[in-house]
Structure 1
Amino acid sequence: MITKISINNLAVFKEFDWDKEVVDALGHICTFKSINVIYGRNYSGKTSLSRILRAMETGELSDKYQNPSFLVKFADGSKSNHNSLISHGRKIRVFNEDFVRDNLRFITNPDDSIEPFAILGDDNNKIEKEIEALESELGSNEGGKETGLYAQQVAANTEFKNASHEYKKANDALEKQLGDKATDRSIGIKYKPERFGDQNYNIQKLRTDIEKVLNASYRPPNEMQLAQFEKLITEKTLLPIPPFRRPSLNIKSLADNTEALVTKKISESDKIEELIKDAVVNRWVNDGRAHHKGKRANCAFCGNPISEDRWAKLEKHFDEESEKLEKDICSLISKIDTEKNMVNSVLSINKALFYSNFHEKLDELTEQLKDTVKKYGEYLDMLNTQLRDRKDDILNQKKFRHPGDTSADLEAVWSSYEMLCGESDSFSNTLSSEQTKAKNALRLQEVSDFLITIRFQEQFSSIKILKNKWDDSEREKSCLDGDIRQKIESISSKKRELNDEEKGAKKVNEYLNNFFGHQFLSLEASKNEVAGEDPKRIRFEVIRDGKKAYHLSEGECSLLAFCYFLAKLSDIDTKDSKPIIWIDDPISSLDGNHIFFVFSLLNAEIVSNGRFEQLFVSTHNLDFLKYLKRLNGKFLDTDGKQKDYQKGYFVVVRQHNTSIIRVMPKYLKEYVTEFNYLFHEIHKCAAINSIDDTNYTTFYNFGNNARKFFEVYLYYKYPDQGMTEETLRHFFGEEKIPTVLTDRINNEYSHLCGVFERGATPVEVPEMQTAARQIIERLKEDKDQFSALLKSIGIAEEDKVEI
């Protein structure tokens, strides 16, 4: 049983998700039931829904849809979609316009006929004898007592199974040996990558190696070559050495800056002579200034007061120029220390990154590195010493002593290191290539020895013989299977010839006469007289007064098509089964009596007889909807008890250019007249606060809905006149504006009123809502009726629209 349908990009259905849209008032997801009633206005998408089931019946979906997709879910958890139309395995029968077009072609082409179908025919002695002969050739298919072709089939199956078993046994044994050699943890080549070079080795690669070994061009390595390979593969391939980033040496700029500071001259004006002559005392006095200025009036050393004059002389002595020189010296000392630390740490030689044949050179280079780093450090220390000397005697310029520059020696050591890195990396490339060749040679030698050990050639030849025997038995089995299948199909074909297509026509006539009393039309089966076609083929034709009928009315076509569909449920392909049945709007162009008869026929022939697994009926007609709510039937459950069919009610709603399925609202499910529905649409139009894509259709359809509402309402209020300008004025009283406005909307927006451009312009929503609210306001004057109308659409009195 179908539970849900989700649809995307199929006609008016765009991204319709069942679980999001088909929910009850509490938000619970609803599903299809055994009997499903679907209501929808014309062009809402009912026929598009039926075409999904039709495609699941015929296996074909219209190629006019662009990139359509749908997903149909069943109660047992299985699914069907646009890519697997008939894989569901269920019997489905759909009545819609496509069914009518495919089977009743005379409706569109009066000279064409109706597709015949067979129910049950009379015996034919000749055909029965042919069937008996075929069945005799087939023999008995009873288990253990087979005869004829079935006995031969049993023997062929036994031979096939034995040959298959022998072949698979021998082949599996060889496959097991090959698989173990390829991937077994103890003996497998895969788990010895250090020797054979492939840690992703598998049985497919082993087969490739076997082909190479068995090739006439293969030459195994000698003992000397094997020894060379063994030695070569022990060398481990190292990772590329991280690149050495050579820093920039700043020795020249540091020396030049040192020379400038050491030799810089300080102005001697306003200097204290005794402090200039004694650098130690000068430093002592300068340090004392920091401890006394602004803190003591007397000298902390001698206890004597420090005069303002003395302070002035000291300030002139220790001026801004000397303080700046001292700061520059300290800053340069810090830069020299940073340079020294950088040179000490920039390179640390790790022999583990190099192959052993480079280690001796690395030892020599390490010593050179230590020596040059030491000399470079000593050079920097000499610069620092001169700077500190000047700092201690800041007032007296010094003579700069230039040490020897060792930066070139350090650069040479770094260059040697970079050269060794390059040589080591190059050696890695060569080693990897040579090791790969050696490991390949060792692996092929291993495979060659393995083939000799398991006697591969002997096993392979034996398996080939068994395979040929298996193939022969399979061909024999297939030949017999095909012969039996052909004879079974021939028997089925001949049995179909026993079926009578004339009874299909009689069944249609039975429905036409018994349920509709339509004795003027009938269906007649006649042999084909069309040139070039099979003369034995039966044709169904519509007959009126003994002659082929032409120019059938739409109502007659609808009656005939529906009776044909119900009669076809008794054909040989459907009889005694319970299909999923989908009936799409079967009452087109029928009057009230015929609508009731269609319902009666549907109820008596399908529902009451339980001739379905699941039933779907869709309609746009509220009168037919009223009858469909009476569909009732019972079925026997697994315990043999009678139970009522569960029924589901749904609506197909079109919102502008998109349709969705929803649970049928309570007022439509419980109240059946269109009058209730039309009142509800007007009430919604009056109540909406803001217009968006979800409610725009209420305004779009307002003209039709209001016109039809007034046609019903005013007819019962003024049965002698119905809806006229006069009765509209009576309805609205003395107010002329709502009368004129409503009349304009009813005419212009429901009929376009002869103005083609009206259909191409947007709907004036304010006018719609104004008219809707005027109608509601006028209806309120009859309190009893207005309250009843509200209740009929499920709205409480306190929730009514306030104008």
Structure 2
Amino acid sequence: MHKHSNGEYEQTCSFCGSPLSSERIEELNSYFSDEVKKLEIRINNVQEQLKQLKKSISNIMLLDENSFYNKFKRQVTEFNLQVETAKTGYMNFLNKLSENIQTKKNDVFTHVDPINNNIVESLISFNELQQSHNTLLSLNTKYGNNLDESINNARRQLLGNQIAIQLDAFQYTTKKDQLNKVQGLEKKYEIEFNKRKDERNIVQQKLNGLKKQSVDEELAANIINEKLQQLGNQSFTLVEVKDADQKGQYTIKGLDNRQRSINTLSTGEKNIVAFLWFISSLEGNSDRSINPKVILFDDPMTSNDDACQYLIISELQRLIKKNSTDQLFIFTHNIHFYLNTRYKWWKDNRKSSYNKTTYHLHKVDGKTQINMLTSPSEDLKNSYDELWEEVKWLYNNQKPSLMLNPLRRIFETYCKFNNIDLSELYAKNPQAKKYFDVNSHDIDDPGTDPNGKNETEILKEVEDIFNEIGALNHFNAHWKENS
């Protein structure tokens, strides 16, 4: 809808009025192209399934009248007629499905009417035919068992004679001896294979141990670059200088792929690189010493840009959860940083003492007073936490329509703090803008559901939005860990 006949595109979006960049056009084209490919793959899979079903139905064999006594031949004829009728019905139904699928494949955007349910309901159940088949076989067998015993004995003797003839022709005894020898060799080789496999695993474990004892600088740089992408339009990249005199030299490349001077980096940008390198070194050296480390962060939010603050919070949250052996201390004057990073020692803990705790320092008459928290009520809260509590209550009480307003305020607060434009939040899910922006202001009957989604589906949309902007840890910290 944005493309002109000459191949050029509109400069602004016809729907929201935002600038329509070439990158956005490529993303849209890629998105719809991928969805069409996915649909085509699904159609091909369904066509293959239908092909196999039709093949299976075609292979269904009728009963051989000669295998039944004359007493049951009329019933065999009637049963075969039912089978033929069932096969014809199912084949017609599957052919109709195949036609509809092919129509959809020829033009994925065309509408195909559903098949009439009466066709499905009129089909004969194969389960009922199977029961009839089993009953007929049982009656025929029971009838045959009552014949003269001498006929059965003669049949068994004839069958045994035929088996003996076939075994002699096949040279069964010789082939059996050959098979036993092959099985013995197979077992021998299997034991040798398992022995070599165990030796390989031991060598691999030694190799892994040696790898853990060294810090892979290139790997660390790649991890840092991945995390720097979370800064959005303020991100930059570390690029290794090839053929440098000294190993480990890096330059800075901006979001526009141009090299930046280190003097152009703000204090916050320099701090975030140093912070991420330190986190990477902690993980890279985790197995180097058997003694636990003492790790201290002294107000890491100081002098950091707004765009860097959430990245630091996310990394420290992950470090707190992952750490089990080191002694970790975090000091801060920043209340927002504290509320997002604190360790909730009271959650799901039944022990009388804890190896993780929180202290508040207060100035009283010029002296510092240290207070250890002993209950959740003593800790700090903010309005942002209360919004999440409200959403949790509405979710538990199954009020999806009332969840939209506090969720919209959560998005607005998050974007404001992290210096993110709201349009970026809904960039990959424009339909969500109507849920949380338009429908959250709805003043209709509160008992109605303006968006057609239940509470679980709404929270899945919220999780996907945070995940798209690289803030899934933030969502988990405020929702899943408190639910």
- Normalised TM-score (structure 1): 0.19
Higher relative contact order (CA 8 A, sep 6+): 1
Larger radius of gyration: 1
